[in-house]
Structure 1
Amino acid sequence: MNIYPLLRPLLFQLDPETAHHVTLEGLKLAYKSGLSPLIKAQNSEQPIEVMGLHFDNPVGLAAGLDKNGDYIDALAALGFGFIEIGTVTPRPQPGNPKPRLFRLPEQQAIINRMGFNNKGIDHLINQVKQTRYRGVLGINIGKNFDTPLENAVDDYLIGLEKSYPFASYITINISSPNTKNLRQLQQGEEIGRLLSALKNAQLRLQQQHSRYVPLVVKIAPDLSNEEIQHIASLLKSLAIDGVIATNTTIDRSAIAEHTLANENGGLSGAPVREKSTAVVKKLADELSGALPIIAAGGILNGRDAQEKIEAGAKLVQIYSGLIYRGPQLITDILKAIYQPDRIR
């Protein structure tokens, strides 16, 4: 039952951040009341194996919607094949001043400059311990805003250490535009030092916990071809397990005439689709299947998701599309991409 088109006009009357909270609390109430089956995606059992993990289907929830792991069960009940929570930092932090979230309905887009607002890694882990969900759970880790860039690896190591026993995979977020200078970690020697330290820690934690938890890197859509080549080479040489392409964009060319175009933050939704898909395709060419690509960015319908798969992705993630389309988007994507010969 697709009731979201009836609810969306009411939610869009609210401030975006208030609507975000109201929606999540509503989903939680629906889950606890046993109503989730009424809005769950149809035919959501379409399993696929990626990174040695069993995904119920190839459509996941991108990080950012549930930063603290407070709504895992309610979101999983919508029929996602996997859930990614975070971005979480070692210490709680409030994020950037409000307003920091903006809708652009005409462009089916969102601008956010949330700034990794979250309750800290310890809170998130406590929430994960309480969840009933037993599917694939990604935990997305970042650095605190006041941690100097030269010490960033320390924050990522804390996130990795604490997440490792509870995550199906761990995403290293070095591509948010909303933490000052964070994207520098994608460049030059910085990314090599960071990923080497995290890879060494992963192998140590594998021995300690007797389980292997894949490491995934999330990159920006604003990288040059040379930067993508450099990152792809590093991912292969360090045996990183996967890559998410992409985060939000700082490019405003697609919305240049909009009244909100000058708002700082990352732009997501339909305007980032082409840039994101281009990065997926370039990565796929460079990686030659050495590690899987998870595509995110501008997926508003099944055709958009199929485009990502054809560009070289194994899995897809949605966030802004969910805001504009609701849970029906999961069903539409599954209908569009359920062609096993293309997603194996």
Structure 2
Amino acid sequence: MTSGQYNLARNLLFKLDAEDAHHLSLELLRRTESAGILKYVAGKLPKPQPVECMGLTFPNPVGLAAGLDKEGTTIDALGRLGFGSVEIGTITPKPQPGNPLPRLFRIIEEEAIINRMGFNNVGIDQGVANVRAAKTFRGIVGFNIGKNKITPNANAVDDYLAALRGCWGVADYVTVNISSPNTPGLRDLQAADDTARLLEALKLEQVILTERTGIHMPIALKVAPDMGEEQISELSKVFLEGGLDGLIATNTTISREQVLGKPYAQQAGGLSGKPVTEKSTEVIKAFYSHLGEQIPIIGVGGIMTADDAVEKLDAGAKLIQLYTGFIYHGPPLIHSILNKLAAR
């Protein structure tokens, strides 16, 4: 697929409501993959560029960030487009509908999206069943897990443990989402003491499940871009002392500094895309200055070009993930990044 072909498809999809276009796109991907057509549309798969991270071998360094394939129903098709890894979710222990509609907004001139989805998902059991049904994907599958909205923060660890147990042995790794701005109070769990308690419980359960099953599954945490150096320093100590396996930086931002005066800028939710590119990269640099090579970082946030991906890797990321850049630039962005990295 060329950039011109994707732009034509995108222009048609962008005439629809953002969430309707999202669901339609995934349905088209599933149907064309099932019919054996997608491989001809997508073109030749990129050559492998394996990367070792968290004890796993990723076929290439470009992954899909959580939020696009929330239910894990489109993994085979997304792999056909060239992704080396797919992170599904956010998945919660029990199904939940998420926030009221509308909850997804495009700021096209800034190549940005605002979402306040609210962890709408089918629940961990159905998510596991969906991933088990994947047939052709040979990459890495991550489960991004969160707490149900009705669960108070005081009991959040119970939800995370339930989700961890639920996907054990099916996921290749788990990402613990404590940084979405769309579940009330969730970001409070990024306070150093709260994070330390949560990480301790998760790592203890990881040991128990590994011993019981003989399967080891790495645990990563996903953090927000809206934090200063002091909080980054405190959390880095928690991660190092707690034995965190990986860090995903970053989630969406609650800042509107880059989109002031633009349509939908006043909408509540997390902002992603081009406006968060620099902010995300700076957070990666700051965490890397504390963590070094001891805890691998997966860089995500505003990767709209191959050069953006290189900047994330140069800032200290081991792998990168796409979301909004993929919406705006499609499969050609995956190939552009991998070609750029191969040339390096």
CA contact (8 A) 2:192 2:235 kept: no
SS in 2 for 1:310: helix
1:168 lines up with 2:172 in the alignment: yes
Q: Where does the alignment leave 5 or more consecutive residues of structure 1 unmatched?
A: none
What are the residue-to-residue correspondences of 1:241-256 with 2, within 5 Å? Answer: 241-256=245-260
Q: CA RMSD in A?
A: 1.1
Q: Where does the alignment leave 5 or more consecutive residues of structure 2 unmatched?
A: none
> Which string of whole-angstrom CA distances, capped at 9 and with x for unpartnered residues, describes residues 301-325 of structure 1?
1000000001000000000001100
Aligned counterpart in structure 2 of residue 102 of structure 1, from 86, 100, 105: 105
CA contact (8 A) 1:236 1:291 kept: yes
What are the residue-to-residue correspondences of 1:100-179 with 2, within 5 Å? Answer: 100-132=103-135, 133-179=137-183
> Which string of whole-angstrom CA distances, capped at 9 and with x for unpartnered residues, describes residues 37-88 of structure 1?
2315652411111111111100000000011111111111111111100000
Aligned counterpart in structure 2 of residue 91 of structure 1, from 79, 90, 94: 94
Q: Give the stretch that moved more between structures: 212-221 or 185-194.
A: 185-194
Q: Are the structure 2 counterparts of residues 137 and 40 from structure 1 closer, same or farther at C-alpha, using a change threshold of 3 Å?
A: farther
For 2:142 and 2:191, how far apart are their aligned partners in 1?
24
Which amino acid in structure 2 is aligned with residue 12 of structure 1?
A: F
Corresponding residue for 2:36? 34
For 1:298 and 1:120, how far apart are their aligned partners in 2?
28
Corresponding residue for 2:226? 222
Corresponding residue for 1:195? 199
What are the residue-to-residue correspondences of 1:1-344 with 2, within 5 Å? Answer: 1-2=1-2, 3-37=5-39, 38-40=41-43, 42-132=45-135, 133-338=137-342
Q: Are the structure 2 counterparts of residues 312 and 41 from structure 1 closer, same or farther at C-alpha, using a change threshold of 3 Å?
A: farther
SS in 1 for 2:317: coil
CA contact (8 A) 1:44 1:80 kept: no
Runs of 4+ in structure 1 off by over 4 angstroms are none
For 2:138 and 2:78, how far apart are their aligned partners in 1?
13
For 2:277 and 2:253, how far apart are their aligned partners in 1?
10
For 2:179 and 2:212, how far apart are their aligned partners in 1?
29
CA contact (8 A) 1:281 1:311 kept: yes
TM-score (structure 1 length as normaliser): 0.97
Q: Are the structure 2 counterparts of residues 121 and 72 from structure 1 closer, same or farther at C-alpha, using a change threshold of 3 Å?
A: same
CA contact (8 A) 2:107 2:263 kept: no
For 1:206 and 1:213, how far apart are their aligned partners in 2?
8
CA contact (8 A) 2:45 2:81 kept: no
For 1:202 and 1:301, how far apart are their aligned partners in 2?
36
For 1:101 and 1:164, how far apart are their aligned partners in 2?
31
CA contact (8 A) 1:41 1:331 kept: no
SS in 1 for 2:215: coil
Which amino acid in structure 1 is aligned with residue 331 of structure 2?
A: P
SS in 2 for 1:314: strand
Structure 1 residue 339 displacement after superposition? 5.8
Structure 1 residue 260 displacement after superposition? 1.4
Q: Give the stretch that moved more between structures: 57-66 or 75-84.
A: 75-84
Count of residue pairs the alignment pairs up: 340
For 1:338 and 1:233, how far apart are their aligned partners in 2?
34
SS in 2 for 1:116: coil
Structure 1 residue 188 displacement after superposition? 3.2
